[in-house]
Amino acid sequence: MRICFLALLLSVALQAANTAIVLNSADETVSIIDTTSYNVTKTFRIGKEPHHLMVTPDDTYLIVANAASNELVFLDRATGEEKRRLKNISDPYQIGFSPGNKYMVSASLRLHRCDIYSGSDFKLLKRIATPKGPSHVIFDKAGAFAFVTLQDSNELTAIDLEKQQVAWTIPLGKQPAGIWMTPDDKHLLIGILGQDYVQVVDWRARKTVKKIRTGAGAHNFIPVGDGRHVFLSNRASNKISKIDQQTLEVVDELPGPGGPDCMDVSADGKQLWMTSRWIRKVTVVDIATKKVVKQIPVGRSPHGIYLYAHAARK
Amino acid sequence: MWEAISNQFALLQSWIFQILVQPALYALGLMSWDELAFDGTELFLIGVIELALLYVIFRPLELLAPVEQWPNRREANVDFLYSMITKLGLLPLFFFLVLTPAFDYLNGSLRLAGIIPPNLEDFVPALKDSPVLSAVTYLALFDFFDYWRHRLQHRFGIWWALHSLHHSQRQMSFWTDDREHLLDQMISGAWRGMLGLLIGVPPAQFLVVTLISGAIESFSHANVRLSFGAIGERILVSPRFHRLHHAMSVGHDGPHRGCNFAQVFSFWDVMFRTANFDATYHPTGVSDQNEGADYGGGFWAQQRLGLRRLWQAWS
């Protein structure tokens, strides 16, 4: 009996370790994929316009931000099972927790606002009107600022989290999208969707220090997991750039067919999984051989993706 | 089979978008619109397929059991242009470029004032889990609001000045559904957009609702001698039922300034006592056309004269 129970636990643990969770933003569904067999094991409705996802600070749940449903849905990270639904979170396109988890910031791309919530109980603290198209959010290490790209006004804005107001705003290239902070807390890397580069901003000096040429439609980041490199998806040129965060150079390129968007790296660092936005598929690339090993049909306009067994977020 | 068709469609949409649309957006510095443009590409393709299907299915029916035989289709053919504009160009563009930003602005202002417009699913959670129930509910709701919009189009003189263009067609065919003054189309779009904001209709459902209602409305305008029977006529709008709405001296007169206003579900007319189940197939048109009123023969003349009628009604 005890052996059976242990076997069952082991089986559940193994199954859980092999899960990918994908948000199909135009279908309002979530696809659960077995990362070993590459089969979609389950698809279920989640809510309107699920775009981005984020793990809770205690690493317990995966939060799906349903932009048009005005809600956050908490899923079991391993199975995708719904655990909780939090209403009245206005138009959450992308969310992020400040280091220390004091605040959760929600960017409302469509409605041109950023909302600051308490990171512990999700109580709304402040709603801030911004210029057009607040898109992606990142924080400094101290958790003093939230940096938000403004996709339609071509700017970067810094929100002072204690004062809960905009501290400063600077111009960027056309349609800035994904944003990433280098490990030394010095530079912001910003994917310039309307052009072909990553804009490097020294946020303390509030100035651009470099433009790293990557590919048309530079879009979003995910760390490789080695603490030094990040992958960047180039949506219009269908490729992935590997960027060295120390030298601020492109060191490698991978294929990214069908409009690559969000990505995740497998725990063993061997595979890069990405949503291929324009072809209704998830694409899996072998990082060493730079070959597409699998394309998995999912729903319409797949956006956020999460691997249960993922590489370190550093 | 459906999956195979859907996959082929997705491939075509992706190919057109990545080869033509996205490079143009990139060159013009409009990449912020790429996700909307991707949806727009889908809408355009669906429009092309819809137009082809309408012709393949409804044209043979019109040949098989026509209500009227015309010596030529000169007047009917003008309506095809309206269908092209509505299904392939103007309406999607207007929806994406004007209505969406306008309603997003309104929506954003409400949020800043502390108001989050509710979603229908907040009141009926079952809709979240059933795409079919959800589609039927949204279809019925939109149709209910369209019924009342249509009543107002006949009730108010200034709105009728525009809407009468739709009724001036004497060669009514399945293309006539889209024969509306451009200004009238925009007002109708705003009406629907407002409802979308109120009940939080998702884009996927909006597309489904638009497709189903568009197909039924095209069919109801077909030059076909067809009734859905005693019960069916009280549920769904048939070509016979809707022809009475277009009937000269019948469809635009009386205490309600017309009858059979429903677009998809005829039970709205039954419910609000505006249904007419007379089995006669009347000629279509507006009464004043018998007294020489000119609604224009071609597209631009019809648009110009519509504005003139509006001005006259206004002043």
pLDDT in tens, chain B (315 residues): 777 888 888 899 999 999 999 999 999 999 988 888 898 888 888 889 989 999 999 999 999 999 999 988 888 899 999 998 888 866 667 766 777 777 777 777 787 777 777 778 778 888 877 778 888 888 999 999 999 999 999 999 999 999 999 999 999 999 999 999 999 988 888 888 778 777 777 666 677 788 888 899 999 999 999 999 999 999 999 999 999 999 998 877 777 788 999 999 999 999 999 999 998 999 999 989 989 999 999 999 999 999 999 999 998
pLDDT, position B101: 77
Average pLDDT over chain A, rounded to whole? 93
* Consecutive 10-residue averages of pLDDT for chain A (314 residues): 55 67 93 97 91 92 92 94 92 94 94 93 93 94 97 96 96 97 97 97 97 97 96 97 97 97 97 97 98 96 96 88
Q: Three-state SS for A53?
A: strand
Kindly state whether residue B90 falls inside one of the protein's structural domains. yes
Q: Tell me which amino acid residue B139 is.
A: L
**Strands of the sheet with A197-202, listed across from one edge:** A176-181, A187-192, A197-202, A207-213
Phi-psi group of A108: left, alpha or beta (phi > 0 → left; psi -120 to 50 → alpha; rest → beta)? beta
Token couple for A146? 């939230």
Token couple for B7? 């996959």
Q: How far is A174 from chain B (nearest CA, A)?
A: 7
Residue A235 and residue B199: Cα distance in Å, rounded?
33
| Residue pair B163/B154 in contact by the 8 Å Cβ criterion | yes
Asked if A259's CB is within 8 angstroms of B107's CB, the reply is: no
Residue B142 and residue A300: Cα distance in Å, rounded?
24
Residue A28 and residue A47: Cα distance in Å, rounded?
5
Alpha carbons within 13 angstroms on the beta-carbon side of residue B218 total 27
Using the CB atoms, write b or e for B52-73: b if 16+ within 10 Å.
Answer: eebeeebeebbeeeebeeeeee
Give the closest residue to A198 by CA, choosing from A217, A216, A218: A218
Q: Which residues of A touch B (CB under 8 A)?
A: 26-28, 45, 47-49, 68-70, 87-88, 90-91, 108, 110-113, 127, 129, 133, 151-152, 174-175, 193-194, 216-217, 235-236, 238, 258-259, 277-280, 297, 300-301
Asked if B107's CB is within 8 angstroms of A279's CB, the reply is: no
Phi-psi group of B107: left, alpha or beta (phi > 0 → left; psi -120 to 50 → alpha; rest → beta)? alpha
Kindly state whether residue B243 falls inside one of the protein's structural domains. yes
Residue B242 and residue B314: Cα distance in Å, rounded?
29
Kindly state whether residue B31 falls inside one of the protein's structural domains. no
The strand pair at A229-234 and A145-150 is best described as: unpaired
Token couple for B90? 């103007």
Tell me the residue range of the domain where B117 lies.
65-314
| Residue pair A197/A173 in contact by the 8 Å Cβ criterion | yes
Length of chain A: 314
Q: Three-state SS for B276?
A: coil
Using the CB atoms, write b or e for B283-308: b if 16+ within 10 Å.
Answer: ebbbeebeeeeebbeeeeebbebbee
Q: Three-state SS for A66?
A: strand
What are the residues whose beta carbons fall under 8 Å from the beta carbon of A132, sequence distance 6 or more? A112, A150, A151, A152, A153
| Residue pair A58/A74 in contact by the 8 Å Cβ criterion | no
Residue B285 and residue B248: Cα distance in Å, rounded?
5
Give the closest residue to B35 by CA, choosing from B17, B9, B19: B17
CB-closest option in A69, A217, A301 to B119: A69
Give the closest residue to B192 by CA, choosing from B81, B102, B303, B72: B102
Residues of A in contact with B204 (CB under 8 A): 26-28, 300
Asked if A216's CB is within 8 angstroms of B26's CB, the reply is: yes
Q: Three-state SS for B245?
A: helix
Asked if A174's CB is within 8 angstroms of B31's CB, the reply is: yes
Give chain B's domain count: 1
Per-residue DSSP letters for B196-226? HHHHT--HHHHHHHHHHHHHHHHHHTSS---
Kindly state whether residue B17 falls inside one of the protein's structural domains. no
Asked if B116's CB is within 8 angstroms of A113's CB, the reply is: no
pLDDT, position B92: 64
Q: How far is A128 from chain B (nearest CA, A)?
A: 8
Residue A38 and residue A284: Cα distance in Å, rounded?
9
Q: Three-state SS for A121?
A: coil
Phi, psi of B100 (to 5 degrees): -60, -50
Per-residue DSSP letters for B173-200? -TTGGG---HHHHHHHHHHHHHHHHHHT
Q: Three-state SS for B256?
A: coil
Kindly state whether residue B35 falls inside one of the protein's structural domains. no
Residues of A in contact with B121 (CB under 8 A): 47, 69
Token couple for B178? 């889209």
Kindly state whether residue B16 falls inside one of the protein's structural domains. no
Q: How far is B98 from chain A (nearest CA, A)?
A: 14
Kindly state whether residue B170 falls inside one of the protein's structural domains. yes
Q: Is the CB of B10 inside 8 Å of chain A's CB atoms?
A: yes
